[in-house]
Amino acid sequence: MSQPHSPMTLMKRARGFMESRILLSAAELDLFTLIEKNPMRAEEIAESKKLDLRGTTILLDALASLGFLTKENDAYHSDPSVGAMLSSETTDSVLPMVLHMATLWRTWSHLTDIVSGKMVPGQEKKSVLEEKHYRAFIGAMHAVASRSAPEVVAAVKPIDSKMLLDVGGGSGTYTLAFLQACPNMKATLFDLPKVIELARERVEKSGMVHRVTLVEGDFYQDALPEGHDMALLSAIIHQNSPQQNQQLFHSVHRALTPGGRIIVRDHVMSEDRTHPTEGAVFAVNMLAGTPGGRTYTFDEIKTGLQNAGFTSVNQIQSKGMFSLVEGVKPVEKKGS
């Protein structure tokens, strides 16, 4: 049972956006890159970035108060534990992910109108910032997913699988994780052309080019390559409507050989859709950003898979966005 609310706790929640906006604005202005190595005064930062001095000073002081910066002798410097993570010049930076949150800020700003029916989500113009940082964002997604990919592979237990189809596989994080765990496996990575370009770079660096086939396509419109005994839908179904997922499940079913498995990685919600909280909040993100997406319960996923012809549907891991549901394309009986 949750703790009772008070005016103080309610206002704390209502004000929560303020600290977030301070960090997002600093990221959009790329302040952490500027002062990661050398302390600078507010006047120097404002001049370097062509910013308003009053606004710059107030923002920097707030960042220092929140612990993102240190301030000494009127000079500001990135906190050592933060600077590298939010610099655009470091390889393990999470700055692209933070910038993506800034993009979502604009999308979420329409939430009231969307819920009121005054606006259809997904129709606003695509963010220039999002396009500018697209490559870095895909790289940051890889950095985050690569930490969890081995655990996902272990939970799937793909030891007998020989041909993986990674649908919407991004830059290849999960494809490569499966191949590393299964020396006899080959894979097909299917995604949009601009994503395949990034996947090709990562696959070439991995030394596993001979084991990966890269296929350009749109799974909403194009048939998936056939002849696979395992298919992965990783963080895909939440962006779809139930009808889109049903179509996708049918497409995956056709792409699998008899006895092949489908693996769905995503949030799996409780029957009343209130748990886990992370998934309930993520459903709002899909409401704000897609025409029909949301997070789904196990029964909804199971029903969709069964309607597409899958059997033995089972949840094999329950862990937020890394929850896993599997199904099997049945082997045709002789004489049928």
First-to-last CA distance in the chain? Answer: 53
pLDDT at 335: 60
CATH superfamily for domain 147-276+291-328: Vaccinia Virus protein VP39 (3.40.50.150)
Q: Indicate the residue type of 136.
A: A
Q: What is the pLDDT along the chain (336 residues), one digit of tens a residue?
A: 567 889 999 999 999 999 999 999 999 999 999 999 899 999 999 999 999 999 999 999 999 999 999 999 999 999 888 888 999 888 778 888 898 889 899 999 999 999 999 998 866 555 544 555 566 667 667 777 888 999 999 999 998 999 999 999 999 999 999 999 999 999 999 999 999 999 999 999 999 999 999 999 999 999 999 999 999 999 999 999 999 999 999 999 999 999 999 999 999 999 999 999 999 999 999 999 999 999 999 999 999 999 999 999 999 999 999 999 999 999 987 665
**CATH number for domain 7-132, candidates 3.40.50.300, 1.10.10.10, 1.10.730.10, 3.30.465.10:** 1.10.10.10
Residues 6+ apart with CB under 8 A from 315: 268, 298, 323, 324, 325
Strand partners, 221: none
Q: What is the b/e burial string over 107-141, where b = at least 16 CB atoms within 10 angstroms of the residue's CB?
A: bbebeeebeeeeeebbeeeebeebeebeebbbbbb
CA dihedral 99, 89, 196, 232 (to 10 degrees): -70
pTM: 0.91
Phi, psi (rounded to 5 degrees) for 290: -135, 155
Look at residue 80 in the predicted model and tell me its pLDDT: 82
**Ranges assigned E (strand) in 45-150:** 69-72, 75-78
Give the model's pLDDT for residue 151: 95
Please state the domain extents for the chain.
7-132, 147-276+291-328
Please, what sign has the CA dihedral across residues 194, 195, 198, 204?
negative
Torsion-angle region of 335 (φ positive above 0: left; ψ -120 to 50: alpha; else: beta): left
